[in-house]
Amino acid sequence: MVNVEFLVVSYIVGLFIDWVFQWQCQAVNKSKWSKQDNKFISFVSLISHSFIYASFTTIISLYLIKDYSIYHFWLVFDILFISHAIIDTRILVKWIMRFKGLTNEQIYDYQNYGFMHIGIDHRLHEIVLLILAIFI
């Protein structure tokens, strides 16, 4: 059975946290993993953003649905933190775009195809929340 209350609350809270509490330096650097990029800055940006997202989304969502279980806290936090870090590397997003038939030129053309990055990124985050809602 899907916990619809958790799904709706965590989705709304997560969107807010993901967009409002992401600093510009995190947004710009979290997915830079090519040879010429500074991987340390990318790693710090990715981990700090994922930690903020997972922490606040977990605390606020579980508080609002009145679920204070330590088990649920760690389950939700761990899954949100790990999945957010994986998804926000954009490696999976770019793989899906290639699977859809886009060329590397199109994938790296953020001006014309950036909406696809954001769209795929958010659908992946939504799938994670849906899976979590089954187990909460």
CB 59 within 8 A of CB 81: no
Alpha carbons within 13 angstroms on the beta-carbon side of residue 40 total 0
- What digits encode the pLDDT tens for the residues 67-99? 878 999 999 999 999 999 999 999 999 999 999
Q: Span 117-126, mean pLDDT? A: 96
Please report, rounded to a whole number, the percentage of residues in the chain having pLDDT higher than 70: 99
- Prediction pTM value: 0.90
The pLDDT confidence band at residue 24, using thresholds 50, 70 and 90, is: confident
The pLDDT confidence band at residue 100, using thresholds 50, 70 and 90, is: very high
Ordered by start, the domain boundaries in the chain are 4-135
